[in-house]
Amino acid sequence: MRIYIIMKAIVPLILVALVLPKTSIYAHGEKRPMKKGILLVAFGSTIPEAQVSFDNIDRSVKKAFPGVEIYWAYTSRTIIAKMAKEGKNLATPAETLARMMREKFTHVAVQSLHVIPGAEFHGLTQNVRRYEGMSKGIEQVLVGRPLLATSEDLQRVAEAMLKIIPPERLKSEAVVFMGHGTHHPANVYYAALNYHVQKLDPNIFVGTVEGWPEIGDIKEDLKQGGLKKAYLIPLMSVAGDHARNDMVGEEENSWKSVLEKEGIKCEPVLKGLAEHQEFVDIWVDHLRTAFGHFD
Ligand code: CO
């Protein structure tokens, strides 16, 4: 009986839903032309030198998608707040999509410029999907994967890591890449990448600032391997605050200080991944995949 009452209430609603137009986009006979756009999303950086990385990505995306408008947004609230104090207004992905909606974009490919599919990436995906299918809004929002997503990406990144090592480094010397690291389960990507890269060169190591493996683990590995010198390279899109302070800063807990205390000579390389075309190409390819999947 109860079910019958519920059905009686629901069936007319279903019928109404069926006869309504699929979207209200075409209301008032307003047929909108397809307008595709790109939204590039980075974590952000407070360091002015980071702009080199962002400019390199921007240039590469423009070259790969001639004639497509490109927008930028940032996911770090801390960085947005800090930059606002300096009078620089960085937009969030939601703000930028609202603007793109007003500018009549119908399809937007959002490219995550993050390294792993961690908290930043999942938060981004969750937020931008809310901009899909609004009345008079954007019809479709697709998100491109970050640098590391599939096993193929891990292998490609491992190979790219080899290419950015300074040519003067000897095979008997270590190379330590500093990833960000996270409490998110996606932290496992760093250990997976370590596996891939060590298959190519056993003296290359991947550690993290805020996850696992930590510098303490790396230090033990270097000692065990009898390695006396290490090149330190950030595994982050920009050589920002972490690279300059946590990696090679003068404080006693910086990676450089920790390793040098053990008699391991350190050679810092202060360049972000996005300054190298090998890495930018991976992000661009992920964007190409997203862009090619519009309905
Ligand atoms: Co951080």
Dist. CA 27 → ligand 1 center (Å): 46
Name the CATH code of domain 36-148+277-292 (choices 3.30.300.30, 3.40.50.1400, 3.30.110.30, 3.10.310.30). 3.40.50.1400
Mean pLDDT of 69-80: 96
Decide: 189 and 206 in contact? Cβ < 8 Å.
no
Active-site position among 107, 114, 180, 196: 180
Name the least confident of 2-6, 93-97, 173-177, 214-218.
Answer: 2-6
pLDDT for 135: 92
Residue 293 tokens read as 């999947």
Mean of pLDDT values over 258-276: 97
Chain-wide mean pLDDT for the chain?
A: 92
Sketch the domain layout of the chain as residue ranges. 36-148+277-292, 165-270
What pairs with residue 132 in β-bridges? 138
| Among the ranges given (21-35, 90-104, 122-136, 142-156), the one the predictor scored with the smallest mean pLDDT | 21-35
Q: Name the percent of the chain lying above pLDDT 90.
A: 87
**H or E element in which residue 38 lies:** strand 36-42
Task: Report the pLDDT averaged over residues 38-51.
Answer: 93
pLDDT reported for residue 49: 87
Q: State yes or no: pLDDT of 16 exceeds 50.
A: no
What distance in Å separates the CA atoms of residue 222 and residue 205, rounded to the nearest whole number?
Answer: 9
* Alpha carbon of 279 to ligand 1 centroid (Å): 20
Residue 18 has pLDDT above 80, yes or no: no
Confidence of residue 32 (pLDDT cuts 50, 70, 90): confident
Tell me which architecture the domain covering 165-270 has in CATH: 3-Layer(aba) Sandwich (3.40)
Residue 101 exposed, middle or buried by CB count within 10 Å (0-12, 13-18, 19+)? middle
Q: Where are the beta strands (DSSP E) in 162-251?
A: 174-179, 204-208, 229-234
pLDDT, position 4: 58
| pLDDT score at 27 | 54
In this prediction, residues 207-213 reach a mean pLDDT of 98
- To the query of whether residue 180 is one of the catalytic residues in this protein, the response is yes
pTM of the model: 0.89
| Ligand 1 centroid to residue 78 C-alpha, Å | 10
Asked if the domains 36-148+277-292 and 165-270 are classified in one and the same CATH topology, the answer is yes
* Tokens 């230090």, residue located: 219
Measure 254 CA to ligand 1 centroid, in angstroms. 14
| pLDDT number for residue 31 | 75
